[in-house]
Amino acid sequence: MEKTNIPQDDLGLNDNKGRELCYATDENGDYTTGLSLGWEAKGIPLIEVWRDVRDTLIKISKEIEVGEASPLKFYMQYNLMDSFLVAASVGIATWRVKLHLMPFFYNRMNDTMTARYAKELGLTVDNMKNSNHITPLNISELIKEKSGLEL
């Protein structure tokens, strides 16, 4: 790549937090560095990932509405975690987290356990217990706030 060809595609991914360093050659073929605002080729897949997160959240909120998923599943996805990561953060076994993704086991959970989840997922215990407030959420807005992207 030549220095003059360093891409400057601003897709809103850098959140006004500055540019990144790239290595490129100058007119003599010697290596030098330059700053880049971003590149379309790597920005697009990242935006796709966020779209995917949004779509999955919408799907989960529908599942919660009909009682097929527990609020934990929603918060887990919102925090971009999987059950292994949640288990590691809370300090319990992965299979227990997987059970808690089902409404039956979720509703049987005691207060201490709920509090532990709430702490790791950045929620209040009330939020965790009450699944009614998930369905009216505007998920597109939430993700826009979280990622800083116009999807």
Partner 1 sequence: MIENFEHNQSAHCENGVISNLLKFHGVHLSEPMIFGIGSGLFMGFFPFLKLNGIPIATFRTSPGMIFQRATKQLGIKIRKAKYRNPKKAMDALDKAIDTGIPVGLQVGVYHLTYFPRALRFHFNAHNIVVFGKKNGMYQISDPVLENTTELTYNELATVRYSKGPFAPNGKMYYPTDIPSEFDLAPAIRKGISKTCRDMVDIPVRMLGTTGYKFVAKRMRTWPEKLGEKQASMWLGQFIRMMEEIGTGGAGFRFIFSAFLQEASKELNEPWLMDVSAEMTENGDRLREFALHSSRICKNRATQDVGYNELADILVEVADREKEIFTKLKKLGK
Identity of the residue, 88 or 137, whose beta carbon is nearer to partner 1 in the bound complex: 88
C-alpha 140 chain-centroid distance: 13
Smallest gap from residue 52 Cβ to partner 1 (A): 7
Query: Do 47 and 11 contact (CB within 8 A), yes or no?
Result: yes
Residue 136 near residue 74, CB atoms below 8 Å: no
Measured from the CB of residue 103, what is the shortest distance to partner 1 in angstroms?
23
- Residues 35/20, Cβ–Cβ less than 8 Å: yes
Q: How many CA atoms lie within 13 A of 78 on its CB side?
A: 23
75 binds partner 1 (CB under 8 A): no
**Strands of 3-148, DSSP E:** 20-25, 31-36
150 interacts with partner 1 by CB under 8 A: no
**R_g of the chain, CA atoms, integer Å:** 21
96 touching partner 1, by CB under 8 A: no
Q: Which range touches partner 1 (CB under 8 A), out of 66-74, 107-115, 123-131, 140-148?
A: 140-148
For residue 19, report the phi and psi dihedrals to the nearest 5 degrees: -110, 165
The residue within the footprint of partner 1, chosen from 4, 8, 26, 33 (CB under 8 A), is 33
Q: Is 13 in the site for partner 1 (CB under 8 A)?
A: yes
Q: Is 123 in the site for partner 1 (CB under 8 A)?
A: no
Total interface residues for partner 1 by CB under 8 A: 42
Is 82 a binding residue for partner 1 by CB under 8 A? The answer is yes
With beta carbons less than 8 A apart as the criterion, state whether 97 and 87 touch. yes
Residues at the interface with partner 1 (CB under 8 A): 1, 12-15, 17-25, 29-31, 33, 35, 39-46, 48-50, 52, 80-82, 84-85, 88-89, 146-149
